Amino acid sequence: MRLPDFPWDSLVPHKRTAAAHPDGIVDLSVGAPVDEVPAVLRQGLQAGANLPGYPATHGTRELREAAVAALERRFGITGLEQDAVLPTVGSKELVAGLPAQLGLGADDAVVIPGLAYPTYEVGACLAGADVLRAEDVTALGAVRPALVWLNSPANPTGRVAGVEELRAAVDWARERGAVVASDECYLGLPWESEPVSVLHPEVCGGDHTGLLAVHSLSKTSNLAGYRAGFVTGDPELVARLLEIRKHAGLIMPHPVQHAVLAALRDDEHIAEQRERYRARREQLWKALTSAGFEITHSAAGLYLWASAGEDAWQTVERLAGLGILVAPGTFYGPSGDRHVRVSLTASDERIEAAAGRLS
What are residue 179's DSSP bridge partners?
Answer: 147
Fold for domain 7-36+269-358? Aspartate Aminotransferase, domain 1 (3.90.1150)
- Per-residue confidence at 1, pLDDT binned at 50, 70, 90? low
The pLDDT-based confidence of 2 (bands split at 50, 70, 90) is: confident
User: How far is the CA of 265 from the CAs of 39, 82, 85, 189, in angstroms?
Assistant: 13, 15, 15, 18
When the pLDDT of each residue in the chain is averaged and rounded to a whole number, the result is 97
Looking at the predicted structure, is the pLDDT value of residue 103 above 80? yes
C-alpha span between 88 and 90 (Å, rounded):
5
In this prediction the pTM is 0.96
pLDDT at 8: 80
pLDDT score of 33 more than 90: yes
pLDDT tens per residue, range 70-96: 999 999 999 999 999 999 999 999 999
Name the percent of the chain lying above pLDDT 90: 97
- What pLDDT, on the 0 to 100 scale, is given for residue 7? 81
Whether pLDDT at 38 is above 70: yes
Q: Which CATH number fits domain 39-265: 3.40.640.10, 3.40.50.720, 3.40.50.10490, 3.40.50.880?
A: 3.40.640.10
Cβ density class 263-301: b for 16+ within 10 Å, e for less:
bbebeebbeebeebbeebbebbbebbeeeebebebbbbb
Mean pLDDT of the region 257-273: 98
Alpha carbon distance 256, 222 (integer Å): 13
Residue 5, pLDDT score: 77
Give whole-number Cα distances, 112 to 120, 136, 208, in Å: 7, 10, 20
Q: Over the stretch 203-234, which tens digit does the pLDDT of each residue have? A: 999 999 999 999 999 999 999 999 999 999 99
Which of residues 359 and 327 earns the better pLDDT score? 327
- What's the average model confidence in pLDDT over 353-357? 98
Domain boundaries, the chain: 7-36+269-358, 39-265
Is it true that 7-36+269-358 and 39-265 share their CATH fold? no
pLDDT digits (tens, 9 = 90+) for 280-321: 999 999 999 999 999 999 999 999 999 999 999 999 999 999
Whether residue 51 has pLDDT greater than 70: yes
DSSP state of 52: -
Spatial CB neighbours of 6, under 8 Å, sequence gap ≥ 6: none
Residue-wise pLDDT tens digits, 146-165: 999 999 999 999 999 999 99
The string of pLDDT tens digits covering residues 163-212 is: 999 999 999 999 999 999 999 999 999 999 999 999 999 999 999 999 99
